[in-house]
A and B are shown apart, each in its own frame.
Chain A
Amino acid sequence: QKEVEQDPGPLSVPEGAIVSLNCTYSNSAFQYFMWYRQYSRKGPELLMYTYSSGNKEDGRFTAQVDKSSKYISLFIRDSQPSDSATYLCAMTTGGFQKLVFGTGTRLLVSP
Protein backbone atom coordinates (compact mmCIF):
# COMPACT_ATOMS: atom_id res chain seq x y z
CA GLN A 1 0.00 0.00 0.00
CA LYS A 2 1.32 3.42 -0.95
CA GLU A 3 1.73 5.99 1.80
CA VAL A 4 -0.32 8.48 -0.20
CA GLU A 5 -3.11 7.51 -2.58
CA GLN A 6 -4.45 9.83 -5.25
CA ASP A 7 -6.72 9.08 -8.18
CA PRO A 8 -4.76 9.81 -11.37
CA GLY A 9 -7.85 10.83 -13.33
CA PRO A 10 -8.27 12.42 -15.77
CA LEU A 11 -11.08 14.41 -14.23
CA SER A 12 -13.04 16.33 -16.86
CA VAL A 13 -15.38 19.16 -15.88
CA PRO A 14 -17.06 22.07 -17.68
CA GLU A 15 -15.94 25.61 -17.06
CA GLY A 16 -17.50 27.08 -13.92
CA ALA A 17 -17.83 23.75 -12.12
CA ILE A 18 -16.65 23.11 -8.58
CA VAL A 19 -13.80 20.66 -8.59
CA SER A 20 -12.96 18.33 -5.73
CA LEU A 21 -9.55 16.68 -5.61
CA ASN A 22 -8.64 14.24 -2.87
CA CYS A 23 -5.85 12.25 -1.31
CA THR A 24 -5.81 9.62 1.39
CA TYR A 25 -2.79 8.64 3.42
CA SER A 26 -1.76 5.97 5.85
CA ASN A 27 0.91 7.62 8.03
CA SER A 28 -0.77 9.29 10.99
CA ALA A 29 2.45 11.20 11.69
CA PHE A 30 1.92 13.48 8.69
CA GLN A 31 1.18 16.98 9.93
CA TYR A 32 1.93 19.31 7.02
CA PHE A 33 -0.05 19.10 3.83
CA MET A 34 0.46 20.76 0.50
CA TRP A 35 -1.18 20.98 -2.88
CA TYR A 36 0.84 21.66 -5.99
CA ARG A 37 -0.26 22.41 -9.53
CA GLN A 38 1.91 21.23 -12.37
CA TYR A 39 1.49 22.25 -15.98
CA SER A 40 2.93 20.04 -18.66
CA ARG A 41 6.73 20.10 -18.74
CA LYS A 42 6.94 22.60 -15.88
CA GLY A 43 7.93 22.33 -12.25
CA PRO A 44 5.18 22.06 -9.62
CA GLU A 45 3.79 25.31 -8.25
CA LEU A 46 2.72 25.50 -4.62
CA LEU A 47 -0.99 26.28 -4.28
CA MET A 48 -1.87 25.62 -0.66
CA TYR A 49 0.00 24.78 2.52
CA THR A 50 -1.81 23.70 5.67
CA TYR A 51 -0.86 22.41 9.06
CA SER A 52 -2.87 19.76 10.90
CA SER A 53 -6.63 19.55 10.52
CA GLY A 54 -8.91 22.30 9.31
CA ASN A 55 -9.68 24.45 6.30
CA LYS A 56 -7.71 27.08 4.47
CA GLU A 57 -9.03 29.31 1.74
CA ASP A 58 -7.16 31.31 -0.88
CA GLY A 59 -9.23 32.89 -3.62
CA ARG A 60 -10.97 30.14 -5.56
CA PHE A 61 -9.05 27.41 -3.74
CA THR A 62 -9.95 25.75 -0.45
CA ALA A 63 -7.84 23.07 1.20
CA GLN A 64 -9.30 20.76 3.81
CA VAL A 65 -7.49 18.36 6.09
CA ASP A 66 -9.23 15.67 8.14
CA LYS A 67 -6.54 13.94 10.12
CA SER A 68 -8.99 11.63 11.85
CA SER A 69 -9.91 10.15 8.47
CA LYS A 70 -6.43 10.64 6.96
CA TYR A 71 -8.06 12.50 4.09
CA ILE A 72 -7.25 15.79 2.44
CA SER A 73 -9.11 17.71 -0.24
CA LEU A 74 -8.62 20.63 -2.57
CA PHE A 75 -11.69 22.43 -3.87
CA ILE A 76 -11.57 24.73 -6.86
CA ARG A 77 -14.56 27.03 -7.32
CA ASP A 78 -15.58 28.52 -10.67
CA SER A 79 -13.07 26.37 -12.49
CA GLN A 80 -11.40 27.84 -15.56
CA PRO A 81 -9.73 26.23 -18.58
CA SER A 82 -6.46 27.64 -17.25
CA ASP A 83 -6.90 25.36 -14.22
CA SER A 84 -6.30 22.38 -16.49
CA ALA A 85 -3.18 20.79 -15.06
CA THR A 86 -2.02 17.96 -12.84
CA TYR A 87 -2.62 18.50 -9.13
CA LEU A 88 -0.29 16.80 -6.70
CA CYS A 89 -0.86 16.42 -3.00
CA ALA A 90 2.18 16.22 -0.76
CA MET A 91 2.71 15.77 2.94
CA THR A 92 5.41 15.49 5.53
CA THR A 93 5.84 14.72 9.19
CA GLY A 94 7.61 17.99 9.80
CA GLY A 95 11.07 19.24 10.54
CA PHE A 96 13.21 18.79 7.49
CA GLN A 97 11.68 15.47 6.52
CA LYS A 98 11.08 14.76 2.87
CA LEU A 99 7.76 15.32 1.17
CA VAL A 100 5.71 12.31 0.17
CA PHE A 101 3.73 12.91 -2.99
CA GLY A 102 0.59 11.47 -4.42
CA THR A 103 0.65 10.35 -8.04
CA GLY A 104 -1.21 13.48 -9.14
CA THR A 105 -4.69 13.98 -10.60
CA ARG A 106 -4.96 15.32 -14.12
CA LEU A 107 -7.74 17.91 -14.37
CA LEU A 108 -9.28 19.02 -17.65
CA VAL A 109 -11.61 22.03 -17.63
CA SER A 110 -13.44 22.48 -20.89
CA PRO A 111 -14.75 25.88 -22.09
Chain B
Amino acid sequence: GAVVSQHPSRVICKSGTSVKIECRSLDFQATTMFWYRQFPKQSLMLMATSNEGSKATYEQGVEKDKFLINHASLTLSTLTVTSAHPEDSSFYICSARKRTVNTEAFFGQGTRLTVV
Protein backbone atom coordinates (compact mmCIF):
# COMPACT_ATOMS: atom_id res chain seq x y z
CA GLY B 1 0.00 0.00 0.00
CA ALA B 2 0.84 3.64 0.05
CA VAL B 3 0.70 5.26 3.46
CA VAL B 4 0.79 8.96 4.15
CA SER B 5 1.15 10.00 7.76
CA GLN B 6 0.16 13.47 8.90
CA HIS B 7 1.02 14.87 12.30
CA PRO B 8 -0.41 16.18 14.53
CA SER B 9 -4.01 15.07 14.06
CA ARG B 10 -5.28 17.86 16.28
CA VAL B 11 -3.68 21.04 17.49
CA ILE B 12 -4.86 24.04 19.44
CA CYS B 13 -2.76 27.18 19.39
CA LYS B 14 -3.07 30.76 20.53
CA SER B 15 -3.61 33.65 18.15
CA GLY B 16 -0.36 35.06 16.87
CA THR B 17 1.64 31.88 17.25
CA SER B 18 2.84 29.55 14.52
CA VAL B 19 2.06 25.90 14.11
CA LYS B 20 3.78 23.30 11.95
CA ILE B 21 2.06 20.32 10.35
CA GLU B 22 4.10 17.42 8.98
CA CYS B 23 3.22 15.13 6.10
CA ARG B 24 5.27 12.00 5.51
CA SER B 25 5.06 9.31 2.88
CA LEU B 26 5.99 6.19 4.82
CA ASP B 27 6.51 3.56 2.15
CA PHE B 28 7.12 5.46 -1.06
CA GLN B 29 8.94 8.45 -2.42
CA ALA B 30 6.72 11.41 -3.16
CA THR B 31 7.97 13.86 -5.72
CA THR B 32 4.85 15.96 -5.36
CA MET B 33 2.80 16.76 -2.29
CA PHE B 34 -0.37 18.78 -2.10
CA TRP B 35 -1.84 20.73 0.78
CA TYR B 36 -5.57 21.19 1.10
CA ARG B 37 -7.91 23.00 3.40
CA GLN B 38 -11.39 21.73 4.07
CA PHE B 39 -14.26 23.57 5.69
CA PRO B 40 -17.14 21.68 7.33
CA LYS B 41 -19.29 19.82 4.81
CA GLN B 42 -17.31 21.22 1.92
CA SER B 43 -14.89 19.71 -0.51
CA LEU B 44 -11.15 20.02 -0.54
CA MET B 45 -9.65 23.36 -1.42
CA LEU B 46 -6.16 23.08 -2.87
CA MET B 47 -3.80 25.52 -1.20
CA ALA B 48 -0.47 24.68 -2.79
CA THR B 49 1.55 22.10 -4.63
CA SER B 50 5.03 21.34 -3.46
CA ASN B 51 7.73 19.56 -5.38
CA GLU B 52 10.78 18.17 -3.67
CA GLY B 53 13.64 20.63 -3.65
CA SER B 54 11.77 23.54 -5.18
CA LYS B 55 9.44 26.29 -4.07
CA ALA B 56 5.79 25.53 -3.61
CA THR B 57 3.23 26.73 -6.11
CA TYR B 58 0.35 28.45 -4.36
CA GLU B 59 -3.21 28.67 -5.59
CA GLN B 60 -4.73 32.04 -6.20
CA GLY B 61 -5.80 33.73 -3.00
CA VAL B 62 -3.55 31.70 -0.72
CA GLU B 63 -0.99 33.82 1.16
CA LYS B 64 2.41 32.21 0.71
CA ASP B 65 3.91 34.22 3.57
CA LYS B 66 1.26 32.96 5.92
CA PHE B 67 1.24 29.34 4.84
CA LEU B 68 4.87 28.32 4.54
CA ILE B 69 5.47 25.04 2.77
CA ASN B 70 8.73 23.15 2.75
CA HIS B 71 9.36 19.94 0.84
CA ALA B 72 12.91 19.16 1.86
CA SER B 73 12.96 15.47 1.04
CA LEU B 74 11.11 12.89 -1.01
CA THR B 75 9.22 11.72 2.06
CA LEU B 76 8.51 14.88 4.04
CA SER B 77 6.64 18.11 3.47
CA THR B 78 5.67 20.61 6.13
CA LEU B 79 3.04 23.33 6.31
CA THR B 80 3.61 26.12 8.80
CA VAL B 81 0.73 28.42 9.60
CA THR B 82 2.36 31.63 10.76
CA SER B 83 0.81 34.27 13.02
CA ALA B 84 -2.31 32.18 13.28
CA HIS B 85 -5.74 33.79 13.54
CA PRO B 86 -9.04 32.22 14.57
CA GLU B 87 -10.15 32.30 10.92
CA ASP B 88 -7.29 29.94 10.12
CA SER B 89 -9.07 27.28 12.15
CA SER B 90 -9.83 24.49 9.73
CA PHE B 91 -9.07 20.94 8.68
CA TYR B 92 -5.80 20.72 6.77
CA ILE B 93 -5.00 17.65 4.68
CA CYS B 94 -1.92 16.69 2.72
CA SER B 95 -1.62 14.25 -0.13
CA ALA B 96 1.33 12.70 -1.89
CA ARG B 97 1.93 11.18 -5.28
CA LYS B 98 4.51 8.55 -6.01
CA ARG B 99 7.67 9.36 -7.86
CA THR B 100 6.27 8.28 -11.19
CA VAL B 101 3.92 10.07 -13.52
CA ASN B 102 0.23 9.52 -13.83
CA THR B 103 -0.37 8.02 -10.44
CA GLU B 104 -3.10 8.49 -7.93
CA ALA B 105 -2.71 10.64 -4.83
CA PHE B 106 -2.80 9.28 -1.29
CA PHE B 107 -4.00 11.35 1.61
CA GLY B 108 -2.93 11.86 5.17
CA GLN B 109 -5.35 11.66 8.05
CA GLY B 110 -5.75 15.41 8.26
CA THR B 111 -5.01 17.95 10.99
CA ARG B 112 -7.72 19.78 12.87
CA LEU B 113 -6.33 23.22 13.72
CA THR B 114 -8.10 25.38 16.25
CA VAL B 115 -6.79 28.88 16.90
CA VAL B 116 -8.02 30.47 20.12
Using a CB–CB cutoff of 8 Å, the interface residues on chain A facing chain B are 32, 34, 36, 41-46, 49, 51, 88, 90, 94-96, 98-99, 101-104, 106
State which residues 35-78 of B face A: CB under 8 Å: 41-44, 46, 49, 51
The number of residues on chain B lying at the interface, defined by a beta carbon within 8 Å of a beta carbon of chain A, is 26
- B101 near A98 with CB under 8 A, answer no
New contact pairs (12) apart from A32-B104, A96-B51, A103-B42, CB-CB < 8 Å: A32-B102, A41-B91, A41-B110, A42-B109, A42-B110, A45-B107, A49-B104, A94-B102, A96-B31, A99-B105, A101-B44, A106-B41
A103 partner residues in chain B, CB cutoff 8 A: 42-43
What's the minimum C-beta distance from B74 to chain A, rounded to whole angstroms?
14
- B107 near A34 with CB under 8 A, answer no
Q: How far is the CA of A108 from the CA of B77 in the complex (A)?
A: 35
- B112 near A44 with CB under 8 A, answer no
Nearest CB in chain B to that of A90: its residue: B105
Q: Given the known A-B contacts A43-B6, A43-B93, A43-B110, are A95 and B101 also in contact in the complex, defined by CB atoms under 8 Å?
A: yes
Q: How far is the CA of A83 from the CA of B101 in the complex (A)?
A: 31
Q: How far is the CA of A30 from the CA of B36 in the complex (A)?
A: 21
B105 partner residues in chain A, CB cutoff 8 A: 34, 46, 90, 99
Q: Given the known A-B contacts A43-B108, A95-B101, A99-B105, are A104 and B31 also in contact in the complex, defined by CB atoms under 8 Å?
A: no
Interface residue? B24 (CB, 8 A) = no
Nearest CB in chain A to that of B93: its residue: A43
Q: How far is the CA of A94 from the CA of B102 in the complex (A)?
A: 5
